[in-house]
């Protein structure tokens, strides 16, 4: 099969007679390429601060690093792979040698997406790319169409969430490195699954980032962020590093899309925002297959997600929808602390607005933030929003990492899952959610020394304002992120899926996704915002226009009491009810507690 490679300006690139090595080091007095035998090869510098060298001194799969004038050795910041960890040698990789079996894959339309987020280390017993690959058929059979990997770029240590990456081009060696990641993507494509990658462009991790030693201009010390000086996106070599990184994952690894983490934390003073250049470069350069770009952004903005008149995104495709999660979480758990305070008044009404219009906060005042939040989203197509009941943040950012299964009544959870998986928005599930996983997903790292102490104490201080952890003694119960036991406790339990409760939930989820794939997904292209008829604080009816002049209806009673319902007149096709008794009650003008009825309204009496 065709080999897929990406020529980048940073780092090492193989040529027919050796390799070219480049590093932007404007603050360095000199840079040498150091081979794995300790020999030094002097690099030449141009006026822009780029040091380069063409040599055959480094064999394929050989180790190398860069050495500064004071003797400090640093890894290649654009390394395709590390020999072991972030402080060690980089490895010269030949990306041309990987043989793709499904290189003709062109992806799937976004309307078909059912996203499954997973952490490579916690998803399987082996905790690597091969472990993920071994379970792909399970995801396909469940009805998943898109696997989303939490960040895999090399970070310090062997375990961590991945959001502290420092070598953003190198798949983590603990997960298996670049060829193992390509095998995972290739196998997924052979099963008809898209693969999305979570990338972090708002900061580098605290351990293993050497950029400031030789490229202090990579950062702007006049602007500080929670992680230190802001990244200087207005400088061309810096922009190149990130724009090419996005293209690299999509072209060399054949990912079907990217999820850009916390873009609201990108402090960019550029004339052309870096996020816009990244999207424009991808849309311009990759036109022969489906590429989906999604964002996490707490601001509830839509300016980065414009769509053409015929429904195609021109920049980013969709945004993670915290409003949907927060309203649903308050409904099923009753929790009202922290940011949930914005959803304690009429959470069902807020959920209904989110389902119909995208966001529930579209410029309204947030009591939690003490300022207005969001902008109008009613003109966005349903596919511009990704909804979820659980994800890595909303589970792992809890002090004890509790799964929703341990926090709420199963009836409420299944009602909300029925809404999540059948509504026109794009649904996302978190690993293990399909069988009702009860193991926690905790915050874990692999730091050492003073940094480990700082992370442990900082983690516990985060919860000082939460009533349950106001007592300092209670905060000591929060698991140490650096303890191996914290990571091990976060691994999902595959045995649970064959337990009576796990099997029942798994069957429930498969049935819902079958209804989505056969009755809803084919009608989503060109669908529009919904309309809400709120009957009271917990009882609503939403209508979405779909393709073929059909309409999708949801009648919901999200309370513990019977509620009145008004079945519409006309030609209807029942799609799903929860619980099963809801169909009979609905015909009699009622909905049972936590009852739902989904149906199509057909045009012209079909």
The answer to whether the CB of 145 falls within 8 A of the CB of 192 is yes
Residue 549 lies in a domain: yes
Q: Are residues 337 and 231 in the same domain?
A: yes
Looking at the fold, whether 156 and 41 belong to one and the same domain comes out as no
Both 79 and 194 in one domain: the answer is no
Does 2 map to a domain? no
Q: Under 8 Å CB-to-CB from 352, ≥6 apart: which residues?
A: 532, 534, 540, 542, 556
Residue after which a domain boundary falls, among 67, 97, 127: 97
- What whole-number percentage of the chain has pLDDT above 90? 91
Which CA distances in Å does 344 have to 335, 363, 420, 550? Answer: 8, 18, 20, 34
299 in any annotated domain: yes
Domain count, the chain: 3
Which domain CATH number covers 90?
A: 2.60.40.10
CATH number at 551 reads 2.60.40.1180
pLDDT of 322 strictly over 60: yes
**Same domain for 233 and 252?**
yes
* Residue 499 to residue 503: CA distance in whole angstroms: 6
Quick one: pLDDT band at residue 533, thresholds 50, 70, 90? confident
Residue 419: pLDDT over 60: yes
Shared domain check, 582 and 471: no
Q: Final residue of a domain: which of 41, 68, 97?
A: 97
Q: Residues 49, 150: one domain?
A: no
- Please indicate, yes or no, whether residues 86 and 145 belong to a single structural domain of this protein: no
Q: What is the overall mean pLDDT for the chain?
A: 96
Of 73, 97, 121, the position where a domain reaches its end is 97
> Residue 76 has which token pair?
């290649």
Report pLDDT for 1.
56
Q: Has residue 606 got a pLDDT over 60?
A: no
> Domain check: are 192 and 73 in the same one?
no
Whether the predicted pLDDT of 84 surpasses 90:
yes
- Six token digits for residue 163: 């959001």
pLDDT surpassing 60 at residue 605: no
Pairing of strands 73-74, 63-68: antiparallel
**pLDDT classification of 20: cutoffs 50, 70, 90:** very high
Whether residues 446 and 580 fall in one domain: no
Domain extent at residue 570: 527-605
Residues serving a catalytic function are 261, 296
- Residue 3 belongs to a domain: no
pLDDT for residue 263: 97
Which DSSP symbol is given to 150?
Answer: P
**CATH number of the domain where residue 273 is located:** 3.20.20.80
Which tokens is 194 given? Answer: 């898209």
Check whether 380 has a pLDDT greater than 90. Answer: yes
Cβ proximity of 562 and 592 under 8 Å: yes
Residue showing tokens 């390509």: 182
572 and 492 in a common domain: no
Span 500-525, pLDDT tens digits: 999 999 999 999 999 999 999 999 99
The answer to whether residue 54 is domain-embedded is yes
Residue 391 has a pLDDT of 98
Q: Is 1 within the bounds of a domain?
A: no
Is there a single domain that holds both residue 309 and residue 195? yes
- Mean pLDDT, range 435-462, rounded to an integer: 95
pLDDT band of residue 94 (cuts 50, 70, 90) is: very high
* DSSP secondary structure letter of residue 518: I
For residue 104, tell me if it sits in a domain. no
**Co-location of 439 and 329 in the same domain:** yes
Question: Is 4 a domain residue?
Answer: no
């Amino acid at each position: 099969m065709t080999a897929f490679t990406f020529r980048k300006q940073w780092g090492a690139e193989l040529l027919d007679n050796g390799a070219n090595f480049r590093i932007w080091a404007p603050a360095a007095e000199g840079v040498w390429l150091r081979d794995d035998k300790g020999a030094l090869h002097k690099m030449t510098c141009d006026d822009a601060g780029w040091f380069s060298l063409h040599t055959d001194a480094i064999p394929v799969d050989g180790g190398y690093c860069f050495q500064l004038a004071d003797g400090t050795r640093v890894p290649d910041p654009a390394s395709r792979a590390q020999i072991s960890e972030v402080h060690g040698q980089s490895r010269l990789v030949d990306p041309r040698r990987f043989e793709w079996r499904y290189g003709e894959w062109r992806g799937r339309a976004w309307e078909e997406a059912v996203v499954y987020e997973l952490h490579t280390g916690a998803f399987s017993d082996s905790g690597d790319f091969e472990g993920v690959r071994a379970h792909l058929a399970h995801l396909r059979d469940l009805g998943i169409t898109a696997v989303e990997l939490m960040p895999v770029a090399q970070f310090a240590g062997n375990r961590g969430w991945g959001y502290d990456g420092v070598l953003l081009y190198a798949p983590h060696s603990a997960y298996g490195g670049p060829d193992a990641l390509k095998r995972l993507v290739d196998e997924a494509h052979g099963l008809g699954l898209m693969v999305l990658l979570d990338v972090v462009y708002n900061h580098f991790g605290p351990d293993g980032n050497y950029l400031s030693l030789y490229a202090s201009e990579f950062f702007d010390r006049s602007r500080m962020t929670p992680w230190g000086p802001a990244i200087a996106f207005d400088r061309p070599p810096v922009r190149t590093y990130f724009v090419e990184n996005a293209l690299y994952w999509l072209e060399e690894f054949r990912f079907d899309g990217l999820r850009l983490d916390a873009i609201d934390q990108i402090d960019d003073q550029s004339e052309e925002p870096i996020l816009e250049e990244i999207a424009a470069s991808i849309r311009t350069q990759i036109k022969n297959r489906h590429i989906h770009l999604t964002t996490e952004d707490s601001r509830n903005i839509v300016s980065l997600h414009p769509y053409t008149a015929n429904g195609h995104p021109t920049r980013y495709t969709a945004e993670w929808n915290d409003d949907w999660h927060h309203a649903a979480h308050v409904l099923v758990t009753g929790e009202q602390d922290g940011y949930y305070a914005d959803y304690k008044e009429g959470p069902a009404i807020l959920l209904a607005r989110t389902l119909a219009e995208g966001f529930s906060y579209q410029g309204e005042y947030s009591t939690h933030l003490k300022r207005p939040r969001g902008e109008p989203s009613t003109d966005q197509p349903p596919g511009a929003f990704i909804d979820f009941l659980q994800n890595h943040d909303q589970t792992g950012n809890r002090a004890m990492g509790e799964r929703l299964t341990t926090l709420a009544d199963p009836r409420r959870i299944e009602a909300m899952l029925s809404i999540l998986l059948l509504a026109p928005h794009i649904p996302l599930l978190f690993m293990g959610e399909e069988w009702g996983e009860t193991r926690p997903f905790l915050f874990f790292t692999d730091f050492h020394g003073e940094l480990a102490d700082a992370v442990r104490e900082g983690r516990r201080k985060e919860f000082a304002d939460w009533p349950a952890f106001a007592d300092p003694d209670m905060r000591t119960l929060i698991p140490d992120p650096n303890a191996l036991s914290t990571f091990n406790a976060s691994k999902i339990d595959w045995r649970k899926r064959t337990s009576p409760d796990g099997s029942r939930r798994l069957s429930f989820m498969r049935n819902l996704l079958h209804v989505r794939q056969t009755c809803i997904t084919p009608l989503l292209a060109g669908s529009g915002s919904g309309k809400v008829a709120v009957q009271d604080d917990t009882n609503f009816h939403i209508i979405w226009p779909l393709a073929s002049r059909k309409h999708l209806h949801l009648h919901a009673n999200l309370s513990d009491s019977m509620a009145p319902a008004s079945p519409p007149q006309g030609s209807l096709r029942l799609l799903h009810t929860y619980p099963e008794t809801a169909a009979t009650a609905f015909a009699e003008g009622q909905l049972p507690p936590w009852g739902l009825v989904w149906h199509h309204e057909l045009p012209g009496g079909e």
